[in-house]
């Protein structure tokens, strides 16, 4: 007899009629396959940007006008130190949905998919009675393993479908977990009103040399952040429209950094750090800010704990940070990690694996095959080309930036307290060797736990991609996630 039955028996001083009603309800729940948790389980709405540097949002001190996200921050908690593991779209989204790091899931290159045995949010929440929906940009796979209710409007959230979902869930007393995934502010930055950001008035980050092309691109990028913020506002109004505000956990994430130099495709904080704003009325203190370090892999176990699931993610890499959200703790993780894979990306190196570890105060980056220029789509962008052209005409700042971006040392080490933008490499500083050794040991331990062999793992990156010309086709690679034979990069023709 289970625990609930024992409770009924102990408290069973009731009439046979009352007992019959209770028993009938238990039978109904058993037949339906789930118990309805709607009365005490909150809804979850996650709004995800695409290629947005966290510090460019208004509430993070940025120039973009983001009134909706800013307002949400006054109603909930702003996480000052949230990170994803891989500074590219597809691995980041797999992190979020699986609660596990990229190499372990198989989804560490871009435009890829997980191994068949990897669970994701659908496997955890659907048995609890939740409707799982993804509206907008997908970028995860294989599709059969991610059985969301999908909808999209131009690769952005379909507000009409979101409206319908919320209406149905409210009427049926069914909780939902909705991921509203924007395509903004991903380049080419052609949405929003750039006139609100005159090129003569914007302030470029110190690591970006000043050129007309850089100013123009940054202006349009800021405008598209505002466009994303408007989407956030539309979603929040739908939550309010259906009377779901009090029982909905809302989380806004900025994804990895923008596609300007030194952000996306890099393991600097501008590439790996993300905005995270969370509202849960009555539970999260309005206007609160936390410096606790959290990662995207922590989101799924946090949601599981909030929802009261029996499996609260014990098998996952992430850990719940609910105590941080509730104000009971001000720390979460001592270290967060980064992994960049260039193999298989547009204009990427055949093999240029980057790994990083970050503490509260320092960052260690290992460029595991640095004896070549670092390349990706960024170096073909108008903004980067403008730096190359400026360098050719004698612009010292542009020349230094191009060289620093493309010609990396084997080891980079930064003091994030005095140098938060990671512009002064202290790897050769004798006074930093003990801290570097500690972080290197921590990084090596993490890589071992993930089955990450660095260069060998990089060479295997394309083996798990969907077959060309197919829809969600599977590669012939074994699905157990274990190491395979090292592949010669010359044997692979896929490098997009």
Span 199-255, pLDDT tens digits:
999 999 999 999 999 999 999 999 999 999 999 999 999 999 999 999 999 999 999
Tokens representing residue 496 in the block: 């997009």
Same domain, 180 and 243: yes
- Which pLDDT does position 14 carry in this prediction? 39
Instruction: Report whether pLDDT(6) > 70.
Output: no
87 lies in some domain: yes
Same domain, 328 and 344: no
307 lies in some domain: yes
Instruction: Report whether pLDDT(484) > 60.
Output: no
Strand order in the sheet with 149-151: 149-151, 131-136, 176-181, 43-48, 248-253, 273-279, 77-83, 288-295
Q: Which domain holds residue 314?
A: 43-333
Mean pLDDT for the chain? 88
pLDDT digits (tens, 9 = 90+) for 34-68: 333 445 799 999 999 999 999 999 999 999 999 99
Instruction: Report whether pLDDT(150) > 70.
Output: yes
Confidence of residue 469 (pLDDT cuts 50, 70, 90): very low
Confidence of residue 116 (pLDDT cuts 50, 70, 90): very high
20 lies in some domain: no
- Which pLDDT does position 356 carry in this prediction? 98
- Mean pLDDT on 312-336: 93
Instruction: Report whether pLDDT(126) > 80.
Output: yes
The CATH number of residue 349's host domain is 3.30.1120.10
Contact of 387 with 398, CB cutoff 8 Å:
yes
- Mean pLDDT on 337-345: 95
* Sequence-ordered strand ranges (E) for 24-88: 43-48, 77-83
pLDDT digits (tens, 9 = 90+) for 377-386: 999 999 999 9
Same domain, 416 and 303: no
Instruction: Report whether pLDDT(86) > 60.
Output: yes
Instruction: Report whether pLDDT(366) > 60.
Output: yes
pLDDT digits (tens, 9 = 90+) for 152-180: 999 999 999 999 999 999 999 999 999 99
- Which pLDDT does position 467 carry in this prediction? 65
- Mean pLDDT on 91-103: 96
Residue among 321, 332, 304, 345 at smallest CA distance from 119: 304
Q: Which of 333, 350, 385 is the last residue of a domain?
A: 333
Instruction: Report whether pLDDT(489) > 70.
Output: no
- Which pLDDT does position 18 carry in this prediction? 40
Confidence of residue 4 (pLDDT cuts 50, 70, 90): very low
Confidence of residue 313 (pLDDT cuts 50, 70, 90): low
Minimum mean pLDDT among 118-127, 276-285, 307-316: which range?
A: 307-316
Instruction: Report whether pLDDT(428) > 70.
Output: yes
380 lies in some domain: no
Tally the domains of the chain. 2
35/321: higher pLDDT:
321
Instruction: Report whether pLDDT(27) > 80.
Output: no
Same domain, 222 and 276: yes
- Which pLDDT does position 209 carry in this prediction? 98
- Mean pLDDT on 256-283: 98
For residue 58, count other CB atoms closer than 10 A to its CB. Answer: 18
- Which pLDDT does position 22 carry in this prediction? 36
Distances (CA, A) of 384 to 377, 388, 406: 10, 6, 11
485 lies in some domain: no
Instruction: Report whether pLDDT(30) > 50.
Output: no
196 lies in some domain: yes
- Mean pLDDT on 5-17: 33
Same domain, 225 and 310: yes
375 lies in some domain: no
- Mean pLDDT on 289-317: 91
Same domain, 122 and 271: yes
The CATH number of residue 141's host domain is 3.40.720.10
- Which pLDDT does position 447 carry in this prediction? 98
Same domain, 320 and 455: no
Cα–Cα distance measured from residue 208 to residue 89, given in angstroms and rounded to the nearest whole number: 22
Instruction: Tell me the percentage of the chain whose pLDDT exceeds 70.
Output: 85
- Which pLDDT does position 465 carry in this prediction? 76
- Which pLDDT does position 315 carry in this prediction? 83
282 lies in some domain: yes
Instruction: Report whether pLDDT(21) > 90.
Output: no
Confidence of residue 72 (pLDDT cuts 50, 70, 90): very high
Same domain, 289 and 422: no
Same domain, 306 and 346: no
- DSSP string spanning 300-325? HHHHHHHHT-SS-STTSS----HHHH
- Which pLDDT does position 463 carry in this prediction? 84
Residue with tokens 């009427």: 171
Contact of 25 with 229, CB cutoff 8 Å:
no
Same domain, 320 and 362: no
Same domain, 276 and 344: no
Cβ neighbours of residue 317 under 8 Å, at least 6 residues apart? 99, 100, 101, 104, 297
Minimum mean pLDDT among 309-323, 363-377, 391-405, 406-420: which range?
A: 309-323
- Which pLDDT does position 204 carry in this prediction? 98
- Mean pLDDT on 135-145: 95
- DSSP string spanning 78-118? EEEEEE-SSSSHHHHHHHHHHSS-HHHHT--SSS----TT-
Instruction: Report whether pLDDT(476) > 70.
Output: no
Same domain, 65 and 188: yes
């Amino acid at each position: 007899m289970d625990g609930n039955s024992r409770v009924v028996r102990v408290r069973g001083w009731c009439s046979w009629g009352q007992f019959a009603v209770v028993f009938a309800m238990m039978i109904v729940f058993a037949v339906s396959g789930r118990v309805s948790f709607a009365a005490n389980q909150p809804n979850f709405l996650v709004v995800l940007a695409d290629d947005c540097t966290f510090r460019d949002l208004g509430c993070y001190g940025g120039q973009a006008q983001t009134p909706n996200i800013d307002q949400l921050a006054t109603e909930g908690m702003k996480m000052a130190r949230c990170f994803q593991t891989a500074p590219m779209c597809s691995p980041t989204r797999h992190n979020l949905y699986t609660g596990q790091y990229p190499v372990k899931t198989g989804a560490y290159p871009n435009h890829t998919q997980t191994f068949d045995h990897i669970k994701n949010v659908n496997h955890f929440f659907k048995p609890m009675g939740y409707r799982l929906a993804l509206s907008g940009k997908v970028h995860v796979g294989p599709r059969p393993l991610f059985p969301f209710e999908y909808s999209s409007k131009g690769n952005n959230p379909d507000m009409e479908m979101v409206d319908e979902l919320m209406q149905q869930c409210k009427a049926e007393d069914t909780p939902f977990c909705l991921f509203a995934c924007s395509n903004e502010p991903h380049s080419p930055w052609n949405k929003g009103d750039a006139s609100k950001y005159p090129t003569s008035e914007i302030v470029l980050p110190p690591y970006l040399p000043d050129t007309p092309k850089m100013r123009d691109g940054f202006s349009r990028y800021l405008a598209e952040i505002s466009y994303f913020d408007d989407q956030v506002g539309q979603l929040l109004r739908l939550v309010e429209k259906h009377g779901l505000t009090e029982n909905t956990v809302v989380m806004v994430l900025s994804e990895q950094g923008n596609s300007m130099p030194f952000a996306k495709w890099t393991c600097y904080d501008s590439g790996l750090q993300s905005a995270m704003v969370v509202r849960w009325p009555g539970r999260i203190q309005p206007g609160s800010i936390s410096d606790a370090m959290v990662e995207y892999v922590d989101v799924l176990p946090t949601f599981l704990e909030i929802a009261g699931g029996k499996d609260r993610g014990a098998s996952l890499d992430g850990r719940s940070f609910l105590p941080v959200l509730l104000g009971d703790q001000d720390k979460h993780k001592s270290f967060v990690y980064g992994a960049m894979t260039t193999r298989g990306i547009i204009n990427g190196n055949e093999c240029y694996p980057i790994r990083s570890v970050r503490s509260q105060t320092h960052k260690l980056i290992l460029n595991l095959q640095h004896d070549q220029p670092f390349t990706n789509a960024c170096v073909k962008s108008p903004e980067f080309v403008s730096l190359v052209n400026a360098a050719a005409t004698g612009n010292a700042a542009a020349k230094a930036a191009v060289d620093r971006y493309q010609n990396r040392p084997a080891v980079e080490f930064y003091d994030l307290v005095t140098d938060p933008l990671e512009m002064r490499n202290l790897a050769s500083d004798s006074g930093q060797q003990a801290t570097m050794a500690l972080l290197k040991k921590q990084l090596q331990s993490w890589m071992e736990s993930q089955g990450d062999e660095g260069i060998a793992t990089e060479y295997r990156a394309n083996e798990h991609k969907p077959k060309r010309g197919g829809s969600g086709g599977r590669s012939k690679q074994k699905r157990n996630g274990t190491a395979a034979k090292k592949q010669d990069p010359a044997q692979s023709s896929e490098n997009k």
